[in-house]
Chain A
Amino acid sequence: MRVVIAEDLFLLREGLVRLLQAHDFEIVAAVGTAPELLAALIDTKPDVGIVDVRLPPTNTDDGLRAAIAARKQRPGLPVLVLSQYVEQLYARELLADQQGGVGYLLKDRVFNDEAFAAAIRTVAAGGTVLDPEVVQKLLLKHTSTSPVTRLSPRERQVLALMAEGRSNAAIGQRLHITDKAVSKHAAGIFTKLDLPLSDDDNRRVLAVLAYLES
């Protein structure tokens, strides 16, 4: 799998390169600034881009902007955004095009290299992976107006794990229920959120988006 990495701190960039190479990823470019990132994402046509939110030149959210700009030019281009902190605001912006292939994780998640590699593969495959910290904040939100309130507590749990990018099998394992039961809950979620019939991956993205906007 061909990967572009954008990280301005040299040590972290090298660490990421080594970690991903160990998991059989092919690093086609490792860059340190937002303009270089945008060029690399467009020119080298990677399977997935791994992007630090804060990049030069302005050292604010240049990485995030570059990722969103690249996805405007190549809709659905998978990007996994890493950051020292997570904001629901940024998660919404990344998911706003409803294309999937989006990941948004804290940098700490790199420690668990296997889970991190799995998240990259989920994103590359068009899935959605949100950091548990973002999902945690979503769970705290109890508003009365959104369609998410129609979900049963069990369905909300399933949706939260879905947002973290877990497969049906992983969700079943976590909740101690069968795959079939997970599928049933997922179908219930899609119906209650009025999601159109389409492929499962896309519906999962839309469900997460509905969750974010609750």
Chain B
Amino acid sequence: MAVAHRTRHDGVMPVSVYLPVLFLIVVGSYLAWFRLDGLSERIRTGRWGLLLPILAVIYAAVSIPRYWFGFMVVSGACLIMLFRPRTATRLVPYGLLGLGLIEVVVARKASYGSIMFAGFQPPYLVAGAGGPGLAWFEALLCLAAGGWLFLRLRAPGSGLAEQTAHRLWQTRTSGILRGQEFLLLLPIVILLGLVAVHGAPGVALDVGAIAAALVMAFRFRLWAATLAAAGLLVIGGCGLHWAVTLGYGPGRWYGLAALGDHTFAYAGLQGLFLIALGLWLTPRVIGEQLGLPGKELAARAEQLTVRVETLTQTRSDAVDTAAAELRRIERDLHDGAQARLVALGMSLRAAEKLFKTSPEAALALVSEAKESSSKALTELRDLVRGIYPPVLADRGLADAVRALALDTPLHTVVDIDLPGEVEMPVGSAVYFAVAEILANAAKHSGARTIRIHLSHASETLRVQVTDDGAGGADPEQGTGLKGVERRLATFDGILAVSSPPGGPTIVVIEVPCASSSLKTSSC
């Protein structure tokens, strides 16, 4: 930070004299203490604290015309840095933010041509030659660096600030409201303050307007963005107008350019830039105000379209599967149990007739009838198992899978981690899937051991079946697994097969299954 020393003021020690002295004090004491045990460690832990004396020097130069006071400030900062490094670190962000605010005041003064105040020369580049543009730049730099350090070093109060910012950020909804366009309102308000408000109340008005803009930007984003668009167009237009007509006279500033002198072209450029920004923002704001679909909505619509296609496909599959199931049940009943019951009735009727004339023949027929009823029962039992396995109805999925494992002719290891019960349709689909996988493994794999792992985690029901067989299974061949896949797809479930030649074969089923559908088991 360079220091201007154009003017001397009586009773004030020249900045050029005391600054190097103070700096030597800082460096000297730092080096003197550096080698002392423990201190170097402390300083290392509070590295950012080294900035504190430098800030103190600037403060001394900026705001205090009495050199003894400046000396005290700088010495105090040095002592804090050396003996309370953590405190020094925490003070640095506040020091920077304070400097930033002071420079805002200086820049405003400079903007209105009165750079002298309180009887001394503000020792900034801008005060001498740079003009308010550089003053604003310095102010923004200090505020940005201070803000960053404030959060980075977790200075006191930073937690609260972060929480507040987070809460405000959370209110974002969609479309333009998710972007940061609304933040454009802030420079508009600041520029407006510079252009329109003169004199001492200007700072207070600025602060008030910025606060109002902040509240608006975060609570009513759409209106903030709308105002920003309008502001950009109006102020940009003004800049262009002033640049062309030079109506505002020398000594007035528009943004970073002085009006009326040879830099008026910059004002024009700034105006054009603001208008361009306004033109970019306006259609977005209008689209949002009228409720036209934005990019986000379009993407969402596409997602929904894909989802609807998937649902249509799986629903059609589900309907087909259900119809085929009903057809199979009808055929099984018609050809099986029903036919046997007819035969049974006929045998009994014939036995009834033969009972008096030929009791032995009647007995043989009754025996046949008994056989028939037994077979009908067996067929009905198999049919019921295929519709909804009784053990699944009685005990739920975990025990049904255990029962399946027991009925598998191979050695099985079952590991089940299911803290409740899944919904009936999902449980049924998963049961038949596992049954099909086990049947395939028993038939084709040549495995000795099958491991079944059933678990429920992160809203997903997962079954993994691993066999130590020869591998090389192709899920594309055979209709069994395809059918299983279709049935699982109805519940957005998936089936994956890994079966390299030489094995092992791993089949994984995953079905999304919200924990709400997991009821506490009654056992």
Chain A residues close to B by CB (< 8 Å): 53-54, 58, 60-61, 84-85, 87-89, 92, 107-108, 111, 137, 140-145
Contact A111 B370 (CB under 8 A): yes
Chain B positions within 8 Å of A92 at CB level: 406
Contact B395 A61 (CB under 8 A): yes
| Cβ-based interface call for B515 (8 A) | no
The complex places the Cα of A87 from the Cα of B390 at a distance, in Å, of: 10
Contact B377 A61 (CB under 8 A): no
Taking A89-B391, A142-B410 as known contacts, 17 extra A-B pairs with beta carbons closer than 8 A to each other, sorted by chain A number, are A54-B394, A58-B522, A60-B393, A60-B395, A84-B377, A84-B384, A85-B384, A87-B406, A88-B403, A88-B407, A89-B395, A89-B402, A107-B377, A108-B378, A137-B407, A140-B409, A144-B411
A120 CB to closest chain B CB, in angstroms?
A: 19
| Interface size, chain B (Cβ < 8 Å) | 24
The complex places the Cα of A137 from the Cα of B442 at a distance, in Å, of: 14
The complex places the Cα of A85 from the Cα of B407 at a distance, in Å, of: 13
B519 CB to closest chain A CB, in angstroms?
A: 13
A91 CB to closest chain B CB, in angstroms?
A: 9
The complex places the Cα of A88 from the Cα of B399 at a distance, in Å, of: 11
- With known contacts A61-B395, A85-B381, A143–B374 Cβ distance under 8 A: no
- With known contacts A84-B381, A87-B391, A141–B409 Cβ distance under 8 A: yes
15 A-B residue pairs with Cβ-Cβ distance under 8 Å, sorted by A, are A54-B394, A60-B394, A84-B390, A85-B390, A85-B391, A87-B403, A88-B406, A89-B395, A89-B402, A89-B403, A89-B406, A140-B409, A143-B411, A144-B448, A145-B411
Chain B positions within 8 Å of A58 at CB level: 522
Chain A positions within 8 Å of B384 at CB level: 84-85
Chain B positions within 8 Å of A60 at CB level: 393-395
Contact A111 B374 (CB under 8 A): yes
B175 CB to closest chain A CB, in angstroms?
A: 53
The complex places the Cα of A110 from the Cα of B130 at a distance, in Å, of: 110
Q: In the complex, what residue of chain B is closest to A83 when comparing beta carbons?
A: B390
Q: In the complex, what residue of chain B is closest to A89 when comparing beta carbons?
A: B403
- With known contacts A60-B395, A84-B390, A89-B391, A143–B378 Cβ distance under 8 A: no
Q: Which among A87, A111, A141 has the greatest number of chain B C-beta atoms within 10 A?
A: A87
Chain B residues close to A by CB (< 8 Å): 370, 373-374, 377-378, 381, 384-385, 390-391, 393-395, 399, 402-403, 406-411, 448, 522
Interface of B is mostly: helix
Contact A108 B385 (CB under 8 A): no
The complex places the Cα of A58 from the Cα of B406 at a distance, in Å, of: 25
B61 CB to closest chain A CB, in angstroms?
A: 87
The complex places the Cα of A53 from the Cα of B407 at a distance, in Å, of: 19
The complex places the Cα of A145 from the Cα of B399 at a distance, in Å, of: 23
Contact B373 A111 (CB under 8 A): yes
Contact A89 B399 (CB under 8 A): yes
A213 CB to closest chain B CB, in angstroms?
A: 10
Point out the residue from A85, A88, A107 that lies within 8 Å of B385, measured CB to CB: A85
The complex places the Cα of A89 from the Cα of B407 at a distance, in Å, of: 9
A179 CB to closest chain B CB, in angstroms?
A: 30
Contact A142 B409 (CB under 8 A): yes
Chain A positions within 8 Å of B407 at CB level: 88, 137
The complex places the Cα of A140 from the Cα of B391 at a distance, in Å, of: 20
Chain A positions within 8 Å of B402 at CB level: 89
Chain B positions within 8 Å of A143 at CB level: 410-411, 448
Q: Which among A53, A60, A107, A137 has the greatest number of chain B C-beta atoms within 10 A?
A: A60
Chain B positions within 8 Å of A84 at CB level: 377, 381, 384, 390
A93 CB to closest chain B CB, in angstroms?
A: 10
A107 CB to closest chain B CB, in angstroms?
A: 8
A65 CB to closest chain B CB, in angstroms?
A: 8
Interface pairs A-B: 7 shortest CB-CB: A143-B411, A60-B394, A88-B406, A61-B394, A89-B403, A140-B409, A87-B403
The complex places the Cα of A143 from the Cα of B522 at a distance, in Å, of: 33
The complex places the Cα of A87 from the Cα of B393 at a distance, in Å, of: 13
The complex places the Cα of A130 from the Cα of B321 at a distance, in Å, of: 37
The complex places the Cα of A145 from the Cα of B413 at a distance, in Å, of: 12
The complex places the Cα of A61 from the Cα of B370 at a distance, in Å, of: 28
Chain A positions within 8 Å of B374 at CB level: 108, 111
A108 CB to closest chain B CB, in angstroms?
A: 5
The complex places the Cα of A53 from the Cα of B377 at a distance, in Å, of: 17
A40 CB to closest chain B CB, in angstroms?
A: 22
Chain A positions within 8 Å of B522 at CB level: 58
